[in-house]
């Protein structure tokens, strides 16, 4: 049996176990997905222990995404982002990937959003870094807007063809933008949005990384403006799909994984 899992603290809220196990069941794989919750300062030790125990793959979440970088051989994109959320133990050494970037790109692709033009990324934290690099690698011009403007500039300096801005610049940035991605927690379990409703328009595609609630205030405002909307569960799904495919070498049963994910939301 292959054992995969999630390394984080806390992990009790995670939707990854039912999503991945639905994938194993759909393909008839002899595999299980479990959770590991070591102390917050033991990420590197946990990677070493997992390798010793013969774990086949791990997802990595808060607070370990940066800590495990030194314990794995990071793929180029993960190294540029500065965070690992997926580890593959099937090679000679543990390899670290960041599938958040791919998750956002595949979520937009699923909704037939053209990956061209200008993207506005709200938030310069971990998710914002991943999405900014992912979209830039697709050839988009990226505008990073963040509450603390200096953090937006710092991220933009690391991302090709990117600029940094404060949140007060959003109306001007969005006027000619093609894609908007919210990578902040604003809207999570609250009726708030980081983006003024009157800055949204029908030529936008709007992805909100928040998935609780599934239809955030931002997505409601975007739909009212005629924009294409992509809820955060799609990004969550496709980052998991990317990890699943790296681990198993098989095409993920996306429909089965998506159905189980949404059943648990």
Domain range for 35: 2-98+234-263
Q: Residue 58 half-sphere exposure, CB side, CA atoms within 13 Å?
A: 32
Secondary structure letter of residue 250 according to DSSP: S
| Tally of structural domains, the chain | 2
Is 151 annotated as a binding-site member?
Answer: yes
pLDDT score of 176 more than 90: yes
Beta-carbon contacts of 76 under 8 Å, excluding residues fewer than 6 positions away, are: none
Q: Are residue 76 and residue 138 in the same domain, yes or no? A: no
pLDDT score of 203 more than 90: yes
Q: Helix, strand or coil for residue 9?
A: coil
Q: Residue 222 half-sphere exposure, CB side, CA atoms within 13 Å?
A: 25
Q: Are residue 225 and residue 253 in the same domain, yes or no? A: no
| Per annotation, catalytic residue among 65, 129, 143, 217 | 65
Is 239 annotated as a binding-site member?
Answer: yes
Q: Are residue 76 and residue 13 in the same domain, yes or no? A: yes
Q: Helix, strand or coil for residue 183?
A: coil
What tokens does 159 get?
A: 């991302």
Q: Are residue 137 and residue 160 in the same domain, yes or no? A: yes
pLDDT score of 225 more than 90: yes
pLDDT score of 167 more than 90: yes
Q: Are residue 134 and residue 239 in the same domain, yes or no? A: no
pLDDT score of 103 more than 90: yes
Please report, for the domain that includes residue 23, its CATH number.
Answer: 3.40.50.10860
Residue 65 appears among annotated catalytic residues: yes
Q: Cα angle at 33 between 28 and 34, to 5 degrees?
A: 155
Is 187 annotated as a binding-site member?
Answer: no
Kindly report, residue by residue over 11-22, the tens digit of the pLDDT: 988 999 999 999
Secondary structure string (H, E, C) spanning 161-180? CEEEEEHHHHHHHHHCCCEE
Q: Are residue 219 and residue 105 in the same domain, yes or no? A: yes
User: What pLDDT does residue 186 have?
Assistant: 95
Is 54 annotated as a binding-site member?
Answer: no
Mean pLDDT of 73-96: 95
Q: Are residue 105 and residue 223 in the same domain, yes or no? A: yes
Please report, for the domain that includes residue 176, its CATH number.
Answer: 3.40.50.720
pLDDT score of 91 more than 90: no
Q: Are residue 215 and residue 180 in the same domain, yes or no? A: yes
48-54, long-range: CB within 8 Å, 24+ apart, which pairs?
Answer: 50/5, 50/7, 50/87, 50/89, 50/94, 51/89, 51/94, 54/3, 54/89
Secondary structure letter of residue 159 according to DSSP: S
Is 202 annotated as a binding-site member?
Answer: no
Q: Are residue 188 and residue 226 in the same domain, yes or no? A: yes
DSSP character string of 212-243? SSSS-HHHHHHHHTT-EEE-HHHHHHHHHHHH
For residue 110, how far is the Cα from the chain centroid?
15
Is 100 annotated as a binding-site member?
Answer: yes
Q: Residue 137 half-sphere exposure, CB side, CA atoms within 13 Å?
A: 15
Q: Are residue 137 and residue 206 in the same domain, yes or no? A: yes
In percent, how much of the chain has pLDDT > 90? Answer: 97
Q: Are residue 118 and residue 225 in the same domain, yes or no? A: yes
pLDDT score of 218 more than 90: yes
Q: Are residue 21 and residue 126 in the same domain, yes or no? A: no
Is 14 annotated as a binding-site member?
Answer: yes
């Amino acid at each position: 049996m292959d054992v995969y899992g999630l390394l984080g603290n806390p992990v009790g809220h995670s939707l990854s176990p039912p999503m991945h196990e639905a994938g194993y069941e759909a393909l008839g794989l002899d595999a299980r997905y479990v959770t590991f919750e070591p102390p917050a300062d033991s990420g590197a030790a946990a990677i070493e222990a997992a390798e010793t125990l013969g774990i086949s793959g791990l997802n990595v979440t808060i607070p370990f995404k940066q800590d495990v970088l030194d314990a794995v051989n990071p793929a180029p994109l993960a190294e540029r982002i500065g965070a690992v959320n997926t580890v593959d133990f099937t090679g000679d050494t543990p390899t670290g990937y960041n599938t958040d970037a791919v998750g956002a790109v595949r979520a937009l692709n699923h909704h037939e959003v053209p990956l061209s033009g200008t993207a506005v990324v709200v938030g310069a934290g971990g998710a914002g870094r991943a999405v900014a690099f992912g979209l830039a690698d697709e050839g988009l011009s990226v505008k990073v807007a963040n509450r603390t403007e200096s953090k937006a500039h710092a991220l933009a300096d690391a991302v090709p063809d990117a600029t940094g801005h404060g949140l007060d610049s959003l109306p001007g940035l969005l006027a000619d933008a093609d894609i908007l991605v919210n990578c902040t927690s604003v809207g999570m379990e609250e009726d708030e949005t980081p983006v003024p409703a009157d800055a949204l328009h029908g030529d936008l595609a709007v992805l909100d990384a928040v998935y609780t609630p599934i239809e955030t205030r931002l997505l409601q405002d975007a739909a009212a403006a005629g924009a294409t909307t992509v809820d955060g569960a799609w990004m969550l799904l496709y980052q998991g799909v990317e990890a699943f495919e790296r681990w198993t070498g098989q095409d993920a049963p996306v429909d089965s994984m998506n159905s189980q994910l949404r059943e648990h939301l």
